[in-house]
Homo-oligomer: A and B are copies of this chain.
């Protein structure tokens, strides 16, 4: 159930002293081969953290032998000095492993705009390399947590091969990608172009449909590494399905642990003229604070859903909109439908179905409600 479930990988996690709390804050995932195939997807935020800038470069040859990850600091908006820190981290890992820094990706997560304590990181690298083992996946998943209340892992199996994965993320969750770090491992034999294509398909259908709080991170990174250690070549369709299943499972774990959330909300858009329209309408609802507060208050406030849809330029006729909360169609034809008293928003899982009656496309956007605890965590979060 971890990144070391797939053959050919070792991992470790430890407390390097980056976090003032003394909790684990440094993780390593190492690919022992025989293949070193890799692919990655990064945040589309134009303000990119130093580790994103570094990893975007080293992934270009489609190969990686290790990923070093730290929590306790995002190393974002830290200028040339911050980039030098990332470079030095990769070099230290490369030195300890006897490989080149170009085969080491770096991920960081935590507060934006502060330098990392580099002496602590480089000082801990010999130890983390030594600890790295085939059952170190759980420790690595623990070490990348920030405001996460638990670690996130998932696995899937194919015909003779396995996929394992870990993720962190609990806030700043929005498309392109959610604020998160994800490392996916597989022992399947697959070439870099296929791995990259499968990864992009899988993330587009899962992480990119999560919009917890509309805030996009500077550090999002999803890295996939294939060791080929199973000796089994992956069937493309089967592999993409397994990868998508793992990403979906992790995305749901991210949503389930979203900062302060009391409800997990699936916004299902039906009858859109295009996939883009469906996504736009879904995201606009997901980002509407009044709607999110209403769900927290267990109020099936369909008027706020219509008010949100009305701000988009999607194709629809206001008099044709239907909205259901947990199966009760409270809005029919843009006006009053079933009594809102029939809706029970007590359960954590909420489904909002919107039919635009304009076409045949549909999608689901996942979000959370807006709660006291969200405000509390994000008013007080400084580490």
Contact = CB atoms under 8 A, between A and B. Distances in A.
Interface in A25-53: 45-48
Contact of A310 (B46, B301, B318): B46
A374 B112 contact: no
A289 B214 contact: yes
A113 B302 contact: yes
B76 A303 contact: yes
Contact of A172 (B78, B111, B290): B290
Contacts of A376: 372
A335 B78 contact: yes
A293 B113 contact: no
Contact of A334 (B77, B375, B378): B77
Given A77-B306, A289-B378, A310-B47, A114 B336 contact: yes
A64 interface: no
Interface string A202-236: 00000000000111111000000000000000000
Interface residues of A, number: 65
A304 interface: yes
Contacts of A287: 214, 287
Contact of A113 (B115, B172, B297, B336): B336
24 contacts: A45-B307, A45-B310, A45-B311, A47-B306, A47-B307, A47-B309, A76-B306, A77-B303, A79-B319, A79-B336, A111-B303, A113-B330, A113-B336, A171-B290, A172-B307, A214-B289, A215-B290, A215-B307, A215-B308, A290-B378, A293-B374, A293-B377, A297-B378, A372-B376
Given A46-B312, A47-B321, A113-B301, 6 more contacts: A47-B306, A77-B331, A112-B302, A112-B303, A114-B336, A289-B370
